[in-house]
Structure 1
């Protein structure tokens, strides 16, 4: 089960690149008290060092960092971009949905990955998230 609040959702966000998208998604986690600032840096560092491994499906990225980078509570943020941007993935670019994961241990990380994957595999639910005009529409869905 995913716990989500309006403070963890941003819609139609303008970004210039993947790093900015990751930072915005991570900052939502920080602002809601789920992670320390350094967690955001850990997410960006992972992306820069390992590449677009966080792209899990066409148009969708799940940035995250290891718990020791400052994860305080488990949670997820959802950032829908106003325009899709490349993350460097050969087959799943461009990305329009960035869901930042914050897990306090490997078990919670895997549970959130599974819950999000299940949610986004449902074409109707994914369509709702990609086309919602309000945060409440997404909250009602989840």
Structure 2
């Protein structure tokens, strides 16, 4: 599913951002340019972290930005960023973060299948380390296809 949502324009590797908010906004730009969200969804992702905290950091070095469907999701969408310089999210031992996915679903339960797939990927030994070494969209797609 993740590989189906990621087009070449939805993957940015080794980008530089100064902090977690800039990472959220950069990811939001990708979702917006892909037509998956309205601009207000970007602010909603940022507001979610500000109000709920860094629970979006699911494991060491990995964060999943998202917000409620009613905050401007037009269709299911996702993007992937890897950061050349990890940034702190305030997530304790799971900081700093250098792999970010942003996701949107127009339905409140539409994220369940996506989260199941993502959990499976994150539990695979070495997956995040391999993702960190990818230098092209083709390498990311190949890695995701291997994981199916």
Q: Which runs of 5+ in 2 are unaligned?
A: none
Q: Give the structure-2-normalised TM-score.
A: 0.91
Deviation at 1:125, TM superposition (A): 3.1
How large is the RMSD of aligned CA atoms in angstroms?
1.1
**Structure 2 counterpart of 1:40:** 42
TM-score by length of structure 1 reads: 0.94
Structure 1, gaps ≥5 residues long: none
Residue-pair matches, total: 142
The reply to whether residue 9 of structure 1 matches residue 14 of structure 2 is no
Is 1:131 the counterpart of 2:140? The answer is no
- List structure 1 segments (4+ residues) > 4 angstroms apart after TM superposition: none
Query: Residue in 2 aligned with 1:87?
Result: 89
- 2: CA distance, partners of 1:27 / 1:70: 13
The 2-side partners of 1:57 and 1:36 are apart by 28
Q: Deviations over 1:27-58 (max 9, x none)?
A: 11111111111110100010111110101000
Within-5 A mapping of 1:1-142:
1-2=1-2, 3=4, 4-142=6-144
Give how far 1:118 is off: 1.2
